[in-house]
Amino acid sequence: MGYELHYWPMIPGRGEFVRLALEEAGAPYRDVAREDGDDGGIAPMLDRLSDPDDLRPPFAPPFLRDGAVMIGQTAAILLYLGPRLGLVGDVEADRIWTHQIQLTVADAVNEAHDTHHPVGVGLYYADQKPEALRRAKDFREARIPKFLGWFERILAANGGAHLVGAEISYADLSLFQLVEGLRYAFPRATARALRDAPHVAALREAVSERPRIAAYLASSRRIPFNEDGIFRRYPELDG
Amino acid sequence: MGYELHYWPMIPGRGEFVRLALEEAGAPYRDVAREDGDDGGIAPMLDRLSDPDDLRPPFAPPFLRDGAVMIGQTAAILLYLGPRLGLVGDVEADRIWTHQIQLTVADAVNEAHDTHHPVGVGLYYADQKPEALRRAKDFREARIPKFLGWFERILAANGGAHLVGAEISYADLSLFQLVEGLRYAFPRATARALRDAPHVAALREAVSERPRIAAYLASSRRIPFNEDGIFRRYPELDG
């Protein structure tokens, strides 16, 4: 049976934060839009987004189906999966703190996206390049250091190995993905910022070496970053 | 005892989503930065953001203190407060759906903010006005109708009176505030969009007439929208 993930099949995007949690836990799941065959592809996803009979339709991908429950919004999906996959602590204070970190990762992801789409998602990058150059400068110089500085601070305060408690959580996996995305899109700016965030750099490496994550990253299930996604390598935006 | 809210005192901003929940529930709380006296003002907030001994510091305001627990990120605060204030259902599926709606409100709020700050939060509006004009056009024409259309759809699917179940939830209050903000910042574009979203318009009015909310809105505790906040009335951005 297992979970059903619905997300755009050609980009890692926001779906990747959900995939990493499912992969780390070894949970059975279908990545529906990436499957061939009659019940695969993006048609089921598009159907669910526009199904007039659906009382609780997601606003946008990614969304997750678990039997009769359908959940949209990346952070809400992880909130739901965390306890089920053993990727969050048992205590409410730990759960809310993990979620708070996840929402801050989401803010950073949104801002990374907006570096190449500062005017609007409905326009091409080529049609908003002057705006993108200005926004990316602010993101590189002010926002990447601020976000990574906060993650560094809370990692250091927790002993360095994990963001929350003594075990891996979905927040660790999400921070890994954020840093991977930033390294792809802004390699020079991110390398500079990581020199001041050694715990973040070490966590990124430690996550990449976890057996299930390492196997996943080496598999065809991992979609490479590319210039249709959230994190895009446009060298001019890296300064 | 009660809750302690910490947020910038001169704008409704993201803190307002927390205030509305506390006010609707009649919960005792201190709006610390708006208080005079030795333990009021923004100094306690700024101290908490930079306190090197704080193991779980918020990334940014607003944040809420409940005894020993400190929570940042608006949606996480409401996730925590919802059950305590009776502003979310008891069933997990209802709670995650309410949170999913809240996160979609948060996305709309972020996009509304970025209409006047498309390049970066560190720059003045006057220094990014050409970019703002382009971004606001996309927001008015594509995003406001898309967001309000989704809220309309899920309200209608639930019978029209509430977003989730048969009782008020923090998502209803947050949608009220989003619509109020949009009406302030984009009066013409929002009036147009609300003509196609009658349930959203009716919910906004119903929330404004709830006894505790009406009393709050008429009080000095309610901070008027203004041009330092998220929702700013720059007529040129309303098309």
Q: What pLDDT does residue A117 have?
A: 92
- pLDDT-derived band at A53 (thresholds 50, 70, 90) equals confident
- Residue in B72, B97, B119 nearest the CB of A118: B119
User: Can you tell me the distance from the alpha carbon of B158 to that of A5, in angstroms, rounded to the nearest whole number?
Assistant: 25
Contacts with B154 from chain A: Cβ below 8 Å: 55-57
Kindly determine whether residue A59 and residue B150, on different chains, have CB atoms separated by under 8 Å: yes
Query: Which residues make beta-bridge pairs with B29?
Result: B3
Which of B:74-113 have CB within 8 Å of A? Answer: 75-76, 79-80, 92-93, 96-97, 99-100, 103-104, 107, 110
In angstroms, what separates the C-alpha of B68 from chain A's closest C-alpha? 10
Q: What pLDDT does residue B12 have?
A: 98
User: Can you tell me the distance from the alpha carbon of A179 to that of A183, in angstroms, rounded to the nearest whole number?
Assistant: 6
CATH number of the domain within which A72 lies: 3.40.30.10
In angstroms, what separates the C-alpha of A1 from chain B's closest C-alpha? 19
Kindly determine whether residue A128 and residue B134, on different chains, have CB atoms separated by under 8 Å: yes
Cα Dmax for chain A: 52
User: Can you tell me the distance from the alpha carbon of B165 to that of B31, in angstroms, rounded to the nearest whole number?
Assistant: 30
In angstroms, what separates the C-alpha of B229 from chain A's closest C-alpha? 18
What's the angle, vertex CA A155, arms to CA A153 and CA A161, rounded to 5? Answer: 155
In a domain, A216, yes or no: no
Put residue B2 in one of left, alpha, beta given phi > 0 → left and psi -120 to 50 → alpha: left
Structural domain count of chain B: 2
Contacts with A99 from chain B: Cβ below 8 Å: 73, 76, 79
The range of the structural domain enclosing residue A23 comes to 3-85
Contact A5, A74 (CB under 8 A): no
- Count of CA atoms in the C-beta half-sphere (13 A) of B28: 3
Q: What pLDDT does residue A84 have?
A: 98
Q: What pLDDT does residue A121 have?
A: 77
Same structural domain for residues A134 and A162?
Answer: yes
Same structural domain for residues A97 and A33?
Answer: no
Residue where one domain finishes, among candidates A18, A50, A85: A85
Whether chain A has a CB inside 8 Å of the CB on B133: the answer is no
Contacts with A123 from chain B: Cβ below 8 Å: 138
- Condensed to tens digits (0 to 9), the pLDDT of residues A155-165 reads 999 999 999 99
In a domain, A231, yes or no: no
Same structural domain for residues B50 and B153?
Answer: no
Kindly determine whether residue A72 and residue B100, on different chains, have CB atoms separated by under 8 Å: yes
* Residue found under tokens 């939830």: B169
Residue A62's closest chain B neighbor by CA? B100
Contacts with A142 from chain B: Cβ below 8 Å: 120, 122
Kindly determine whether residue A59 and residue B138, on different chains, have CB atoms separated by under 8 Å: no
CATH number of the domain within which A175 lies: 1.20.1050.10
- Condensed to tens digits (0 to 9), the pLDDT of residues A167-192 reads 999 999 999 999 999 999 999 999 99
- pLDDT-derived band at B221 (thresholds 50, 70, 90) equals very high
Instruction: Evaluate if residue B1 carries a pLDDT over 80.
Output: no
* Count of beta carbons in the 10 Å neighbourhood of residue A52: 7
For the question of an ipTM over 0.90, the answer is: yes
- pLDDT-derived band at B177 (thresholds 50, 70, 90) equals very high
Same structural domain for residues B60 and B161?
Answer: no
Cα Dmax for chain B: 52
What percentage of chain A has pLDDT greater than the value 90?
Answer: 91
Whether chain A has a CB inside 8 Å of the CB on B221: the answer is no
In a domain, B178, yes or no: yes
Whole-angstrom distance between the N-terminal and C-terminal Cα of chain B?
48
Same structural domain for residues A109 and A195?
Answer: yes
Contact B5, B28 (CB under 8 A): no
In a domain, A227, yes or no: no
Instruction: Evaluate if residue B145 carries a pLDDT over 80.
Output: yes
What percentage of chain B has pLDDT greater than the value 70?
Answer: 100
Alpha-carbon dihedral sign for residues A136, A141, B48, B55? positive
Q: What pLDDT does residue A76 have?
A: 98
In a domain, A110, yes or no: yes
Kindly determine whether residue B118 and residue A122, on different chains, have CB atoms separated by under 8 Å: no
Same structural domain for residues B56 and B145?
Answer: no
Contacts for A139 with CB less than 8 Å, ≥ 6 apart: A111, A112, A114, A115, A186, B120
In a domain, A137, yes or no: yes
- Residue in A96, A122, A143 nearest the CB of B76: A96
Same structural domain for residues A37 and A99?
Answer: no
In angstroms, what separates the C-alpha of B120 from chain A's closest C-alpha? 6
In a domain, A220, yes or no: no
Same structural domain for residues A48 and A145?
Answer: no
Kindly determine whether residue A114 and residue B119, on different chains, have CB atoms separated by under 8 Å: no
> Average pLDDT for residues B147-163, to the nearest whole number?
97
Same structural domain for residues A96 and A205?
Answer: yes
Instruction: Evaluate if residue A131 carries a pLDDT over 70.
Output: yes
- Condensed to tens digits (0 to 9), the pLDDT of residues B91-134 reads 999 999 999 999 999 999 999 999 999 888 778 899 889 889 99
User: Can you tell me the distance from the alpha carbon of A211 to that of B50, in angstroms, rounded to the nearest whole number?
Assistant: 37
Residue where one domain finishes, among candidates B66, B85, B104: B85
Whether chain A has a CB inside 8 Å of the CB on B190: the answer is no
- Condensed to tens digits (0 to 9), the pLDDT of residues B64-83 reads 999 999 999 999 999 999 99
In a domain, B227, yes or no: no
* Residue found under tokens 């990574």: A148
Same structural domain for residues A170 and A185?
Answer: yes
User: Can you tell me the distance from the alpha carbon of A27 to that of A81, in angstroms, rounded to the nearest whole number?
Assistant: 10
Contact A30, A4 (CB under 8 A): yes
Which tokens is B28 given? Answer: 């005792």
Instruction: Evaluate if residue A1 carries a pLDDT over 80.
Output: no
Whether chain B has a CB inside 8 Å of the CB on A135: the answer is yes
- Condensed to tens digits (0 to 9), the pLDDT of residues B42-65 reads 999 999 998 888 899 999 999 999
CA A41 to chain CA centroid, Å, is 21
> Average pLDDT for residues B1-8, to the nearest whole number?
92
Which of A:17-76 have CB within 8 Å of B? Answer: 54-59, 69, 71-73, 75-76
Kindly determine whether residue B154 and residue A69, on different chains, have CB atoms separated by under 8 Å: no
- pLDDT-derived band at A233 (thresholds 50, 70, 90) equals very high
Same structural domain for residues B98 and B141?
Answer: yes
Residue where one domain finishes, among candidates A66, A85, A104: A85
Same structural domain for residues A179 and A115?
Answer: yes
User: Can you tell me the distance from the alpha carbon of A149 to that of A229, in angstroms, rounded to the nearest whole number?
Assistant: 25
Kindly determine whether residue A99 and residue B73, on different chains, have CB atoms separated by under 8 Å: yes
